[in-house]
A and B are shown apart, each in its own frame.
Chain A
Amino acid sequence: KAGVTQTPRYLIKTRGQQVTLSCSPISGHRSVSWYQQTPGQGLQFLFEYFSETQRNKGNFPGRFSGRQFSNSRSEMNVSTLELGDSALYLCASSFLQGFAGELFFGEGSRLTVL
């Protein structure tokens, strides 16, 4: 069974640019959530999508956005990049029904902003 796939794995951008990250969840999983991981703040929840609808959103500025497609694949976008956006962005998928804490994470997209 294929795991959660994230692309690209590594990318370098400059301040002011925008970036789009992609996530393909495990087959059958309809819930996709995104987390930002930094050494200083740890893992922080960005947003969650289910059936193409954003169900929850964390405490991040509007520059961070996302969407989910009908096949459950998800993308997140960060506009007007800042140096502080440098982080590992992790996507996780799960069954929403009967959720018991088990998120299946991808290996992440490591973003460096120069």
Chain B
Amino acid sequence: EDQVTQSPEALRLQEGESSSLNCSYTVSGLRGLFWYRQDPGKGPEFLFTLYSAGEEKEKERLKATLTKKESFLHITAPKPEDSATYLCAVQDGLSSLNQAGTALIFGKGTTLSVSS
């Protein structure tokens, strides 16, 4: 069964204190791994797509990396505005559920709080 597990559930950082969020996944055939950010009262907002092990993507203070079993979202020198819930999702290319579709399997997220 496809599964996505994120850790930690919650993370509190001081402004400027770098850290990483983890996303472990089990899928039959990974079509893609995606990171989203969700602010309170809002829908998730797309951040990155990673397709293969070794791939990296960067955006401002965020860098996402991918291995064969997990992905990391590195946050460098975070600011209070980076506070949000970060969601990891996968698309299984071999599951009938995802044949040429857009269905994603999400983890439960990591809630990041950055204080000044």
Contact A43 B102 (CB under 8 A): no
Considering only CB atoms and an 8 Å cut-off, how many residues of chain B contact the other chain? 25
> Which residues from 60 to 114 on chain A have a C-beta closer than 8 Å to any C-beta of chain B?
90, 92, 94, 96, 99-108
B101 near A107: Cβ-Cβ < 8 Å: no
Residues of chain B lying within 8 A (CB to CB) of residue A102: 34, 46, 49
**Pick the contact of A48 from B43, B87, B102 — CB < 8 Å?**
B102
Residues of A within 8 A of B103 (CB): 33, 45, 48, 56, 58
How many A residues, CB 8 Å from partner?
Answer: 28
Cβ of B34: which chain A residues have Cβ within 8 Å of it? 101-102
Known contacts A42-B107, A107-B41; A101/B32 CB under 8 A = yes
Given contacts A48-B103, A101-B32, 17 further A-B contacts (CB under 8 A): A33-B103, A42-B109, A45-B103, A45-B105, A55-B101, A56-B103, A90-B44, A94-B102, A99-B102, A101-B49, A101-B91, A102-B34, A103-B46, A103-B102, A105-B42, A105-B43, A107-B43
Some 12 contacts from A to B, beta carbons below 8 A apart, are A4-B43, A33-B103, A42-B108, A45-B97, A56-B99, A56-B101, A90-B44, A94-B102, A101-B46, A101-B49, A105-B43, A107-B43
A residues contacting B by CB (< 8 A) are: 4, 31, 33, 35, 41-45, 48, 50, 55-56, 58, 90, 92, 94, 96, 99-108
